[in-house]
Amino acid sequence: MNKTLFIGSVVLDMIVHVDHLPKLKEDINTTNIKFSIGGCGYNASSIVRHFHLPAVCTSPIGTGRFADILNDLLTDRNYQPLIKIDDEDNGCCICLVNASGERTFLCQHGAEYQFKKSWLKDVCRDDLDYIYVSGLELEEKDGDEILDYLEEMHVPVFFAPGARIMHISEERMKRMLALHPIIHLNEDEITAYTGCETISHAAQRLHDKSKELVIVTCGERGAYYTDGNIGKLIAGYKNKVADTIGAGDSHAGACIAGLKMKMGIEDIIKMANKISSKVVGIEGSELSEEEFNEISL
């Protein structure tokens, strides 16, 4: 089976639990703090690896305080980074989680958002089935180089623009949509980007531009998809929410796994809904092997 290449970050998450988000000048106490591995690329690719499917993540590991902590956590998981660089530390994402489990991110970007085509000179196009791209990477300074690489490779693209979709330049979005990517985002992101009031209209408008499958996550209600002809909401699964960190990334990763296994689109989304529901029930974004095996797939 061919590999999926993940162009997305592997980052150190500092998960900070609070009763509520602090107001200006307010002094509050945290209820718990935990270091974990996160980042869109890591979260999505970890789901693919749970299925024992081949995946390669391009996010660099740098040199410095955060990079050392991140490298130790990755070593514990027998995860070998593809790229190591010496001129910059990795960043850190402070994940503020309130009593309802909703998260707010404060991000310090670092080495994980660098990208150079030369790093992937030994990756053969014929060995790849999909290339996943996070919107955060496309927004960053090396976004044009990512697009250059995608345009040269001619490999199907799975694009997860995320909450930063409004910050990606119009020119870069035009180039990305011209690649006809499968697009994966949530209902707030797609309605904000398209200006449409309903998910169905927003998904159809985006499909008109991309000419490919559009998948929209809708929390515990499930996920909506359109292929341009059929548009349908696939029911979700309820779970007690620990936090929502990585729920969208895990859903995207499960969709990629389903595509790699040649499943039908409705079965793919049902499976992704189950997996993301399991993720919101744990602290952080990473399912253990035991937690993953508890899911009835």
User: Which domains, ranges and CATH numbers included, belong to the chain?
Assistant: 3-21+30-293 (3.40.1190.20)
Contacts of 293 (CB under 8 A, 6+ apart): none
Of how many residues is the chain composed? 297
Measure the CA–CA gap between 78 and 236, rounded to whole angstroms: 33
- Do the Cβ atoms of 176 and 156 come closer than 8 Å? no
Report the predicted TM-score, pTM, of the whole model to 2 decimal places.
0.94
Nearest C-alpha neighbor of 283 from the set 8, 36, 1, 2: 36
Which tens digits make up the pLDDT trace of 157-175?
999 999 989 999 999 999 9
User: Which pLDDT does position 284 carry in this prediction?
Assistant: 86
Tokens of 44: 């999505």
Greatest Cα-to-Cα distance within the chain, rounded to the nearest angstrom: 56
User: Which pLDDT does position 246 carry in this prediction?
Assistant: 92
Query: In the 3-class helix/strand/coil scheme, how is the chain assigned residue by residue?
Result: CCEEEEECCCEEEEEEECCCCCCCCCCCCCCEEEEEEECHHHHHHHHHHHCCCCEEECCCECCCHHHHHHHHHHHHCCCCCCCECCCCCCCEEEEEECCCCCEEEEEECCHHHCCCHHHHCCCCHHHEEEEEEEHHHHHCCCHHHHHHHHHHHCCCEEEECHHHHHHCCHHHHHHHHCCCCEEEEEHHHHHHHHCCCCHHHHHHHHHHHHCCCEEEECHHHEEEEECCCCEEEEECCCCCCCCCCCHHHHHHHHHHHHHHCCCCHHHHHHHHHHHHHHHHCCCCCCCCHHHHHCCCC
User: Which pLDDT does position 173 carry in this prediction?
Assistant: 97
pLDDT exceeds 90 at position 18: yes
User: Which pLDDT does position 79 carry in this prediction?
Assistant: 84
Mean pLDDT of the chain: 94
Q: What is the mean pLDDT of residues 128-133?
A: 98
User: Which pLDDT does position 261 carry in this prediction?
Assistant: 98
pLDDT above 70 as % of the chain:
100
Phi and psi for 122 in degrees, rounded to 5? -95, 0
Which tens digits make up the pLDDT trace of 198-213?
999 999 999 999 999 9
User: Which pLDDT does position 233 carry in this prediction?
Assistant: 98
Bridge partners, 134 (sequence order) = 160
pLDDT exceeds 90 at position 80: no
